[in-house]
Amino acid sequence: MMKRFMERGWRSVVAILLVIVFWESTVRIFSIEEWLLPTPSAIVRELFAVWPTFYPHLLSTLLLAVLGFLIGALFGLTVAMVLHSFDKVRETIYPFLILSQNIPIIVLAPLLVIWFGFGTLPKFIIITIACFFPITISTLGGLQQTNRELSHYMLMMGASKREMFWKLELPDAIPSILSGLKIAATYSVMAAVVSEWLGAQQGIGVFMTIATSSYKTPRVFVAIIVTMLLSFLFFSVILLIEKLLKRFVVRGGA
């Protein structure tokens, strides 16, 4: 595992290092002001300096994102299963589902504040919506495209609808479900930060807004980079789950 990462991952690591070196040297050579574009080293320094005050914001966003993700995932999986089980409902709802996927959350956010105020409810709604769509769409896709040979076998053997679902359709859809979860995991962090812009006591989004309005650009970058790392962490957790469910994902050749 580690070895494979070393074999494949080294290119990406080198690329990132090159970008950082380029960034650092460009800023220094052209002596760009820090409030316009800070150097990577300044950002790292800022991270350590600001960490004690930043830390509570991070925790608050983390909690919001995790809870929002879990609610969104639960909701998304349930809706997918319901749509899968009832053909008529699916045919009616599906076009709307695809259409509503194109509504940008950022536009939706202020509306939700108008409707639900500044509490935690609109925040959870935003994150849930962001997570819900990729999960529903990919789960439904997985459930609808069951391996035809396997389902023909099950039908010939007289499997009930219930047995078809639990023994075939659901396990066969696990790779699709996981890919939906992966997308949702990264969305959830982003959605959490966006939702905090609307007004919150704490969170990376709040930290970011304050830093921006006072032109503390290195702090904005700290927030951006930590948000990215958080997304990556979420993504890695799903990858870990994928490893645990390996037997459902590894299919081998035909």
Partner 1 sequence: MGLSIQGIQKSFDEKVILDGVTFDVQDGEFVSLIGPSGSGKSTLFGIIGGLLEPEAGDITMAGTSIVNERGHISYMPQQDALFPWRTILDNVVLGQELHGKVDKTQAKEMLEFAGLGDVIYAYPHQLSGGMKQRASFIRALLSPQSVLCLDEPFSALDEFTRLDMQKWLLKTWEAHRQSILFITHSIEEALFLSDKIVILTNSPAKVKEVIDVPFARPRDESLLLTEEFLIWKRKVLDLVAKRAV
| DSSP secondary structure code for residue 213 in this structure | H
CB of 145 to partner 1, least distance (A): 15
Q: Nearer to partner 1 by C-beta: 50 or 154?
A: 154
In sequence order, what are the residues at sequence separation of 6 or more whose Cβ sits closer than 8 angstroms to the Cβ of residue 28?
39
Task: Identify the H or E element spanning 91.
Answer: helix 87-100
Could you give the CA distance from residue 253 to residue 6 in angstroms, rounded to a whole number? 26
Could you give the CA distance from residue 147 to residue 143 in angstroms, rounded to a whole number? 10
CB of 247 to partner 1, least distance (A): 5
Q: Nearer to partner 1 by C-beta: 120 or 151?
A: 151
Burial class of residue 71 in the structure, from the number of CB atoms within 10 Å of its CB (0-12 exposed, 13-18 middle, 19+ buried):
middle
Q: Is 39 left (phi over 0), alpha (psi -120 to 50) or beta?
A: beta
CB of 162 to partner 1, least distance (A): 11
Could you give the CA distance from residue 66 to residue 69 in angstroms, rounded to a whole number? 5
E strands present in 214-254: none
Could you give the CA distance from residue 58 to residue 224 in angstroms, rounded to a whole number? 12
Backbone CA torsion sign across 62, 63, 64, 66: positive
Q: Nearer to partner 1 by C-beta: 40 or 171?
A: 171
CB of 164 to partner 1, least distance (A): 10
- Block residue for tokens 């959350």: 105
Please report, as ranges, the residues that interact with partner 1 according to CB under 8 A.
149-150, 152-159, 163, 167-168, 171, 174, 247-248, 250-253
CB of 159 to partner 1, least distance (A): 5
Q: Nearer to partner 1 by C-beta: 28 or 243?
A: 243
Question: What is the number of helices (H) and of strands (E) in the chain?
Answer: 11, 0
CB of 3 to partner 1, least distance (A): 22
Q: Nearer to partner 1 by C-beta: 51 or 166?
A: 166
Q: Nearer to partner 1 by C-beta: 171 or 199?
A: 171
CB of 123 to partner 1, least distance (A): 37
| DSSP secondary structure code for residue 247 in this structure | H
| Structure tokens that stand for 229 in this block | 């790392």
Q: Nearer to partner 1 by C-beta: 2 or 250?
A: 250
